[in-house]
Amino acid sequence: MESIDAIAKAAFSFLFSNEIETSLLFSDINLSAHLSVSAKQFALDSGLLSKRKGKRCHDKTSSFVHKTVQEFLAACHISNNQDVMDEIISKYIKRHDNSYLKISQVFIFLCGLSASAANKLSELMNVYDGDRDIVSRDEIPLQATIVYREAVSNKNTPIYLHLRL
């Protein structure tokens, strides 16, 4: 579990980093700053991480096997460390336009993991992204239904969605 927790924290840290270009693909040096050698090897052996060699022998990059795996692990970290909402996620949402789109899958996973964390994230998304233009008003009820079903199917209630139309 220690390795999984460390990998989840790394997934969160990369996904919510200030540098968009390193949020999905990161150097071996950056990865080593987040994970111990054994946790890194566990992530590679289990298939959570993949490693690529660059043109030069010392240029190695890593990434999670798929973005949704990284988003799920980030949601796991958030559900176990809800203090990151105020410290990191609120700043991320303020800093990036349309951040609600970038973290929507994390939010859906969070609804299945922790209703209280999902409620708090829903509130943050509503406060900081509340002035955005909605592409389609039909889109909101559909998304709310999906999120609500995710929470209910995982017995994570009560869920209080914050939606501004």
Q: Which pLDDT belongs to residue 76?
A: 96
Q: Which pLDDT belongs to residue 162?
A: 57
Q: pLDDT in tens for each of the 165 residues of the chain?
A: 899 999 999 999 999 988 777 788 888 888 999 999 999 999 999 999 998 876 665 668 889 999 999 999 999 999 999 999 988 998 888 887 777 778 888 988 998 898 889 888 888 877 765 555 544 444 455 456 556 666 667 666 666 665 554
For residue 77, is it within any domain?
no
| Same-domain check for residues 104 and 147 | yes
The 3-state DSSP class for residue 131 equals: coil
Buried b (16+ CB within 10 A) or exposed e, 112-132: bbbbebbbbbbebbeebbeee
| Same-domain check for residues 103 and 48 | no
Structure tokens at 115: 């209703």
Q: Which pLDDT belongs to residue 163?
A: 55
| Same-domain check for residues 46 and 18 | yes
Q: Which pLDDT belongs to residue 165?
A: 46
| Same-domain check for residues 109 and 144 | yes
Of the candidates 100, 107, 110, the one whose C-alpha atom is nearest the C-alpha of residue 156 is 110
| Same-domain check for residues 110 and 148 | yes
Report the predicted TM-score, pTM, of the whole model to 2 decimal places: 0.78
| Same-domain check for residues 95 and 38 | no
| Same-domain check for residues 92 and 50 | no
Structural domain count, the chain: 2
State the Cα angle at 136 between 131 and 157, rounded to 5°: 75
Q: 69: burial class by Cβ within 10 Å (0-12, 13-18, 19+)?
A: middle
For residue 76, is it within any domain?
no
Domain that holds residue 147: 82-153
